[in-house]
Amino acid sequence: MTVKVVGIIGSPRKGMNTDTLVSRALEGAKSSGADTEKIYLNDLKILPCQACTRFPAPDYCFFHDGMDKIYQALLNADALVIGAPAYFGSMSAQLKLLIDRSNCLAEMIALPDGKVRFISRLEKRKKGIFIWVANLSKNPEPALVSIRLWSKYFANVELLDTLLATESDLGEGARNKKEYLEQAFNLGVLLVQP
């Protein structure tokens, strides 16, 4: 069966670094036989999470907007390429909105010892890679804290690797650097391996 890989682009700048590297990863996946799709978060109208504290099951949210496209992708994709620029050391608001609106993708289970556990409501396990694009910042950890939590407990994604592309706006730009383009392509290939 054909593997479906969805690229999610968190930068508003089409054709720039995040877009180029996510697209390159999708090319790698396609070269290994995958069907690919690209979603530009900036093209979607996504309301911020309203913390309404009610559970929307069987839906994933009470609000129906651009997130419906994302929920469908998370239900149907076999693998994800998630790309975001570093904004203030972390990630763009476009991607953070998606993450916050994933809050009801998990059920919170209370344990007898008083602790709680989140369990994803999405049955399908997906592979994923994260591409973080920064100009001067070097530390992806602030972004990765959210990406790891989201992947593991909410989106049911096994995060295989992270590509760090720095000095994105210096010189020729990260989008023209052979090493990043190669790494992105190879990660796309990796996503399709059984």
Ligand X SMILES: Cc1cc2nc3c(=O)[nH]c(=O)nc-3n(C[C@H](O)[C@H](O)[C@H](O)COP(=O)(O)O)c2cc1C
Applying CB under 6 A, which residues contact ligand X?
Answer: 11, 13, 16-19, 85-89, 133-137, 168-169
Least separation in angstroms between residue 135's CB and ligand X is 4
Please, are residues 152 and 42 in contact by the beta-carbon 8 Å criterion? no
Q: Return the number of the residue (27 or 169) whose C-beta is nearest ligand X.
A: 169
* C-beta of 10 vs 106, nearer to ligand X: 10
In the beta sheet, which residues pair with residue 36? 5
For residue 160, the surrounding DSSP H or E stretch is strand 157-165
Using the minimum distance from each CB to ligand X, give the nearer residue, 3 or 165. Answer: 165
Residue 48 is classified by DSSP as P
The DSSP symbol for 57 reads T
Return the number of the residue (12 or 148) whose C-beta is nearest ligand X: 12
Q: Can you tell me the distance from the alpha carbon of 146 to that of 150, in angstroms, rounded to the nearest whole number?
A: 6
Question: Shortest approach of ligand X to residue 8 CB, angstroms?
Answer: 13
- Nearest distance from residue 171's CB to ligand X, in Å? 12
Q: How far apart are CA 103 and CA 61, in angstroms?
A: 9
CB of residue 90 vs ligand X: minimum separation in angstroms? 7
